Structure 1
Amino acid sequence: MRKIMAALFLLSIAALARGQQSFGSAAGRPVAVGRLPDMVPDESVRTKFLNQEWTPAVVTFKNGAPAMKVPVLFDEFAEKAYYQEGTTTMEFNHPIASISMLLLIKGDTAYVTFRNSYPPVHKNTGETFYEVLVDGKFQLLSCKAKTIGLYKEDVPEDQRKDQIKEMIYAFFPDGQMVEIKKDKDYLYTLPKYGEVIKSMAASKKLKLKNDKALKELFQYLNEQ
């Protein structure tokens, strides 16, 4: 009896193994290299420009000229954009209103938008480009333009990033353009919108100490 039970047990194991092998061959195949591929690093506008890698983009213009879908290079510090026509590098004839570039972010493609025509603030003018972190009635903006990214011309390009100062701004529904700090006490005292921000932060339990929390705050403000 023990021999019979042992034989039946071995037959069941063999059948299970055959079933798993059959399932595996139908559902997938082994990874040849023996390990998962590395995650592709995020692309940035700056690295694409430094490496002279053209990026698919949609460019709109202030004078109402038709938008262009072209490969572009954009220098966010010098606020200069170029596009590719065939193998030729071209400059835009019309004043640019916005540039939306398609980049690989966290393993997926997403548009990163730069826009100008905002009210003057600090040394920035209406021609200064801002990266739009959150769009809508309440806009969260980032600026690394030459007006605030101060550096000497003799500093090597690959070292300038350490001297670049990023500024965060908010553009509110009433047309206010104000600097934003990752400090709840500062945000709660902003003219007109401080109480709204305080109420929203409390209801959503936001600490407002980092970029992620600021983005969440402005996304919530746009939903109300």
Structure 2
Amino acid sequence: MKKYNLYCIVLFLFIGAQAKAQYLQDYTGRPYYLKTNDGVQGNPLLTETWYTATVDFANGKTANAILNYNLRGDELLFKNPKDSAVLAFVEPVKSFSIKGIRLEESDQADITFASGFPAVDDQTNKTFYQVVGDGKIKLLRYYKKKVLESTEFSSQIVSRTLVTSNSYYLFANNQMVKIKPSQKTVLAAMNDKADKMQEYLKANKVDFKSDVALAKLFGYYNSL
């Protein structure tokens, strides 16, 4: 009995050590310098707040991290849990999910961002998109910080400010198509279930400016 208890204790310590090593390995990152002195006003990050998120790595591992997304540099960042230093992930990240987030552009509270989609326009396969609608056909939302230059009235001073732009993409059949969500464009993508979708739209008033409503619409289609 004593040998069994000793075995259990050793096994527990071994598993605990392995879990700790895994945890620390998940937080491996490289130092990242966030530019703040290039004369551009505004925050280059997705949000002012750094959120705790669940991170899914490309190799199948999962970890929690306090992170943010640099929309200007297209870089996923996290804070070192030891000293809060800003780091960039070393291991490729497949997706990350945040609960209770508040974005000015979206009414979804629980959001998942994913990468690995085909390169399109200025984006690469490493770019992260908000997954608004998930399934066979996905509706993705892309965010970008752009520099807007303006000259004040009766002045030669040019101010440079970061502004957020966003756009939607349909992902189907391994292709990315940029769209503006509307009944016409969405139904065109779902024409193989046109009758069912027409019934859904008659029974439900869909606000095509709402990510919550669009998520329900795509959820229904992908359930058929």
Q: State if a TM-score over 0.5 links the two structures.
A: yes
Change in Cα spacing, 1:54 to 1:122, as seen in structure 2 (3 Å) is closer
Q: Are 1:88 and 2:87 counterparts?
A: no
Larger radius of gyration: 1
Query: Which residue type is aligned with residue 66 of structure 1?
Result: K
Change in Cα spacing, 1:78 to 1:216, as seen in structure 2 (3 Å) is same
Which residue number corresponds to residue 12 of structure 1?
Answer: none
Q: Are 1:202 and 2:212 counterparts?
A: no
Q: Are 1:97 and 2:97 counterparts?
A: no
Q: Deviations over 1:28-82 (max 9, x none)?
A: xxxxxxxxxxxxxxxxxx898553x3311111222x1622211112223432222
Change in Cα spacing, 1:186 to 1:92, as seen in structure 2 (3 Å) is closer
Which residue number corresponds to residue 112 of structure 1?
Answer: 111
* Structure-1 separation of matches of 2:44 and 2:110: 16
Is the Cα contact below 8 Å between 1:61 and 1:67 reproduced in 2?
yes
* Structure-2 separation of matches of 1:65 and 1:188: 35
Secondary structure of the residue aligned to 2:160 is coil
**Aligned-pair Cα RMSD in Å:** 3.1
Is the Cα contact below 8 Å between 2:45 and 2:72 reproduced in 1?
no
Secondary structure of the residue aligned to 1:140 is strand
- After TM superposition, the score normalised by the length of structure 2 is 0.60
Secondary structure of the residue aligned to 2:135 is coil
Which protein has the bigger helix share?
Answer: 1
Change in Cα spacing, 1:186 to 1:93, as seen in structure 2 (3 Å) is closer
Which residue number corresponds to residue 125 of structure 1?
Answer: 124
The correspondence of residues 30-109 of structure 1 with structure 2, limited to 5 A, is: 51=48, 53-62=49-58, 64=59, 66-84=61-79, 85-89=81-85, 90-104=87-101
Q: Are 1:179 and 2:175 counterparts?
A: no
Change in Cα spacing, 1:76 to 1:113, as seen in structure 2 (3 Å) is farther
Which protein has the bigger strand share?
Answer: 2
Q: Are 1:156 and 2:154 counterparts?
A: no
Which aligned segments of 4 or more residues in structure 1 are displaced greater than 4 angstroms? 46-50, 206-209
Is the Cα contact below 8 Å between 1:74 and 1:80 reproduced in 2?
yes
Structure 1: stretches of 5+ with no match in the other structure: 1-45
* Structure-2 separation of matches of 1:155 and 1:96: 32
Is the Cα contact below 8 Å between 1:117 and 1:128 reproduced in 2?
yes
Which residue number corresponds to residue 135 of structure 2?
Answer: 136
Cα offset for 1:195? 4.3
1 or 2 for the larger relative contact order (CA 8 Å, sep ≥6)?
2
Structure 2: stretches of 5+ with no match in the other structure: 1-42, 150-158
Matched length: 163
* Structure-2 separation of matches of 1:175 and 1:48: 29
